[in-house]
Amino acid sequence: MTIFELLQLMLPDGTDAFEPIRSADSAAPWINQIGCACPTWPPDLFAVTGRIIEESGCYTLASPDRGFNSSIRGIVNDASINAHVCFLNALAAIVQAWSDDPLVPPEPVTDLWDELVGSHGHKCVSSIEADPEAAGCVLRLFAIADEACRGMGWGDSQDKPLSTSFSHMVLMRMGGWAEIGLHLPFSLCSMVSPRVAVVLPKSITASVGCTVRSLSHYLALLPPSHVVRTSWTLPAGRYLEEGQNELSDPYDFRLLLIPFPFHVSGESFVLNTPRAELGKKHFWPAYFGLEQQWLDSSSGPLDGARLGKEFVRPLIDQARKQTGKMPHGIVLPECALNREIAQDLVRELSDSGIEFVITGVLHEQDGKTYNQACTFVIDQDQEDAAPFVQNKHHRWRLNRTQADSYALDFDGSHANDKWWEDIDVSQRTLPFFGLRKEMSFVTLICEDLARSDPAMSVVRAVGPNLVVALLMDGPQLAVRWPGQYATVLADDPGSAVLTLTCAGMVDRSNWQQSRPIRSIGLWRDAVGKTQEIGLPENASGVVLTLQSKQKHQSTLDLRSDNELSRQLVLRTIIPVFLDAVPEWV
Amino acid sequence: MKTYFSFQIGNRGLLKEELGLADRVNSSLRASAIKHGVELKPGVMVEKVVRNHNGKTVLRVSGEGKEPVDVPLPVA
C-alpha cells in the first residue's frame, strides 16, 4: 500500500474538521492542488502519520543524529546539539502559531504535508524506513501533531493555561459545544473514523524500548475500535466552594480498599459442565461457575443499601478518623457484588463524599454470565450514577494445584485436572478515566493483567498513571504471578499497579501455609517499590494514600514534556477497624 | 430501579474556573477566521448556565440557539 492509498483509506471524507463551523459560502482557502489537503485537526494528523510510522517501522530513525564517529569518541558534538535545539525551537514556534490561528495549519505544516503527499505519496509504506527523507518528513509532522495536542483530554487553568487551543476545544466539547464533530468519548479524531484508528489522551510516555509509543507525549495511537472498544472519561470533579481558589490537596489520592467477601465457602464453586471425551486423549473441557453465597445472610439476601449503611459508611467514617481525611475512592475485588447491589450501594453513598467506586461484579444477562468491572463516578448533587462496565477479557483456567490450594473439590471426576471459568468474554471494552489533577486510571480483571492481547497494547499506549487489577486470588505476594505481571506494566509504560483480592480467598489459600501472610493487595510503581498490603486480624479495610508527583519525560526524538507528566507513589497504608462488624460480613 | 443518568463527557459541564477558556477558544477561532477571510457561522461558543433534568445547575457551552449535546455512554 502506498502512502497516498493509506491516506485515502483513513480520510475518505476529507481533512477539514472545521467545515461545519464555516459559513456555506466560505471557500476553504487551504485546499491544495494535490487533492489531499493537510488535516486541520491535529489528532487526525497524528492518526495518519502515526499509522505510517507504525506500519513502516520508521520510528527506529526518530532519535536525533548525534553526528558520532569513532574519531570523536568521548566528545560532545556541539553542532548536533545546536541543530536539535533549533529543531525544538522551530517546533515550538510552529505549534504556537497553529494554536493561535487554529482554522488553518501554518505554512511549515502544509509544506511538510505537501511534501509527504506530493514527493512521497507514491511510495510504499513498507519502504519508508529505508527512505530517510520520507521518514524525516512524516516524523516531523507526527511531532507537530503531538505537540499541538498538549493537555488534550484534561482540564486547564484559564489564568495560566498550559494546553493548546485544540485541547481547549476538546474541553468545550465535553462541556456541550458540539459544533465540531469529534468521536468522543471513543476517539479524539474528527475525520478519521474509530473503525480505522483511535486516538486517546496519554498520561505516560514509555521511557524504555523503541516503539511508536515512545514517540508521543500527549496522544496515544490505538487500534480500531472493533479490536477493543476504548473510551476516555473526564468527570467534572468537585466544584470549588465559595471563596476557595483550588482544591486543598489536588495531588493526594486516598483509596479505601475493602477486600469483600471475607468468607468464601467451598460451595460457592460449582461444576457447570463436566469434562467430556471428544476422542483419544482429547476432551471437551470442564467449566466451573461461581455462586455468590456471600451475598446471602441469615436474615435474607444482602442489598446494596444495607451494605452501604451497615458496613461501607462506617468504614468510610473510620477511615476518615484514622487518616484525618476523607478517602476519594473505594475499590472492591473481582466478583465481590452483583450489578444491582453495586448500583444500590453507590446510590446509598451518593452524599458520602466518595468520588468514585470500582467494584467487580458477576452479572447474569440473557442466560449468559459476565465477570465485570464497574466504575461509578459519583456526583453528590445527583441521585444516581451510571456505571462504566467492562467484561473480563479472559477466562480463568483453574487447575488441580490451584483448586487444592484453595481446598476446592467441586468435581467428582478425579481424572480431570482443569476447569474453565464459565463466563462470556465477548465485547471487549476498556474505559480510561481522568480523575483529579492529571491522574488517569484503568481497571483490569484478574487474568487480563497477565495476558498479552490487544487490550494490553492499549494500556501500554495510553500509559495510565494507575492500573487497578481486581482479583479473586490468593495472597498478593511479590513473588506470585500478580507481582510479576505488575512489574511488566511498571516497567513499560511506567504505570503504578494496584492489585486487590478478597480476604475470603486469601484465607482459604492460607490454610495450607504454616506461616500465612494475609496480603490482600500489592502495590508496584515505576520507581521500583513493591509493597504487599496486609490486612491485620479484625481489620475490615485498608486506606492507601497515594501522591502524584511531577515527572520529566522525553520522547525518542528528544522532546521534553516540561514535567507535565505525573507518577504515583505510595505514601501510607492504614488499616481500618470497625467497632462492630455486621454478622453477615 | 431508577433511570440511570450520567454527567460524563457530553454532560460533564465546565468548572467555573474553566469558563474563561471558552472565551479564549471563541477569540482564537474568530481571529483565525478574519485572518483567512472565512466567515464563521454565528454563535459559536455561547456560555450557558443550564439546569439539567435532575435540577442541578451546570455550566455548559454550546452553539447559539442549540442545546448542548449528550454523548451516549459506552455500551456495556
Per-residue pLDDT tens over the stretch A147-204: 999 999 988 888 888 999 999 999 888 888 888 889 988 999 999 999 999 999 999 9
> Is ipTM > 0.90 here?
no
Mutate to test the interface with A, among B8, B27, B34 (most CBs of A within 10 A): B8
Q: Does the structure show a pLDDT above 70 at B1?
A: no
- Which residues does A212 contact at the CB level (< 8 Å), separation at least 6? A50, A53, A54, A59, A221
HSE (side-chain half, CA atoms, 13 Å) at A335:
27
Q: Do residue A171 and residue B38 have CB atoms under 8 angstroms apart?
A: no
Contact state of B45 with A177 under an 8 Å Cβ cutoff: yes
Q: What is the mean pLDDT of residues A223-233?
A: 92
Verify whether the Cβ–Cβ distance A235 to B7 is below 8 Å: yes
Instruction: Categorize the per-residue pLDDT at A27 as very low, low, confident or very high, splitting at 50, 70 and 90.
Output: low
> How far off is chain B from A206, nearest CA to CA, in Å?
27
User: Which of B15, B71, B74 lies nearest to residue A236, judging by beta carbons?
Assistant: B15
Which chain B residues have a beta carbon less than 8 Å from that of A303?
Answer: none
Q: What is the mean pLDDT of residues A102-120?
A: 95
pLDDT for the residue A20: 86
Per-domain boundaries in chain B: 12-62
Count of CA atoms in the C-beta half-sphere (13 A) of A51: 24
If phi > 0 it is left, if psi is from -120 to 50 it is alpha, else beta; for residue B5 that is beta
Which of B7, B15, B71 lies nearest to residue A184, judging by beta carbons? B71
Over range A297-303, report the average pLDDT: 86
Residues of chain A neighbouring B6 (CB-CB closer than 8 A) = 377, 385-386
pLDDT at B56: 52
C-alpha distances (whole Å) from A160 to each of A5, A156, A157, A199 are 42, 8, 5, 26
List all residues 6 or more positions away from A171 whose beta carbon is below 8 Å from its beta carbon: A154, A155, A156, A163, B14, B18, B21
Q: What does DSSP say about strands A229-233 and A252-257: parallel, antiparallel, or unpaired?
A: unpaired
Average pLDDT over residues A315-337: 95
Average pLDDT, chain B: 67
CA distance A172 to chain B (A): 7
Please, which residues have CB within 8 angstroms of residue A130's CB and are 6 or more apart in sequence?
A: none
Asked if A178 lies within 8 A of B62 by C-beta distance, the reply is yes
**Contacting residues for A399 by C-beta, under 8 A, at least 6 apart:** A417, A418
How is A396-445 classified by DSSP, letter by letter?
Answer: -EEEHHHHHHTT----S-TT--EEEE-----S-EEEEEEETTTEEEEEEE
Spatial distance between the Cα atoms of A19 and A11, rounded to a whole number of angstroms: 14
Ramachandran assignment for A426, one of left (phi > 0), alpha (psi -120 to 50 degrees), beta (any other) = beta
Give the three-class secondary structure for A219.
strand
Is pLDDT of B53 > 70?
Answer: no
Alpha-carbon distance of A289 to A369, in angstroms, equals: 9
* Amino acid present at B6: S
What residues of chain B lie within 8 A of the CB of A40, using their CB? Answer: none
Calculate the alpha carbon distances from B57 to A168, A239, B6, B54 in Å: 22, 11, 14, 9
* pTM, 2 dp: 0.92
Averaged pLDDT for residues B24-28: 89
Residues A165 and A99 sit within 8 Å (Cβ to Cβ): yes
Distance CA(A247)–CA(A244), nearest Å, equals: 8
CATH number of this structure's domain A252-577 = 3.60.110.10
pLDDT computed for residue B6 by the predictor:
37
Residue A219 and residue A549: Cα distance in Å, rounded?
A: 20
Q: Which of B19, B45, B47, B61 to mutate against chain A (most A CBs within 10 Å)?
A: B61
* Cβ(A200)–Cβ(A189) below 8 Å: no
> Is A241 a residue whose pLDDT tops 50?
no
- The cell numbers describing B14, all together, are 465546565
Record: contact B56-A381, CB cut-off 8 A: yes
Looking at chain A, the domain(s) classified CATH 3.60.110.10 span: 252-577
Assess contact for A30 and A148: CB atoms under 8 A.
no
| Distance in angstroms (rounded) separating the CA atoms of residues A443 and A452 | 16
Beta-carbon contacts of A13 under 8 Å, excluding residues fewer than 6 positions away, are A191
Does position A307 have pLDDT exceeding 50, yes or no? yes
Residue that the C-alpha cell 465457602 belongs to:
A265
State the average pLDDT over residues A388-414. Answer: 94
pLDDT at A155: 84
Task: Label residues B5-34 b or e (16+ Cβ within 10 Å = b).
Answer: bbbbbbbbbbbebbbbbbebbbebbeebbe
Q: Is the pLDDT of residue A93 over 70?
A: yes
- pLDDT at A288 > cutoff 70: yes
| pLDDT over 60 (residue A32) | no
Contact B22 A340 (CB under 8 A): no
Does residue B5 register a pLDDT over 60?
Answer: no
Report pLDDT for A60: 92
Compare all CA atoms of chain A with the CA of B22 and give the residue at the minimum distance.
A172
Contact at CB, A385 and B6, closer than 8 angstroms: yes
pLDDT tens, A429-486?
A: 999 998 766 789 999 999 899 888 899 999 999 999 999 999 999 999 999 999 999 9
pLDDT at A548: 86
Contacts of B75 in chain A (CB under 8 A): 229, 427, 429
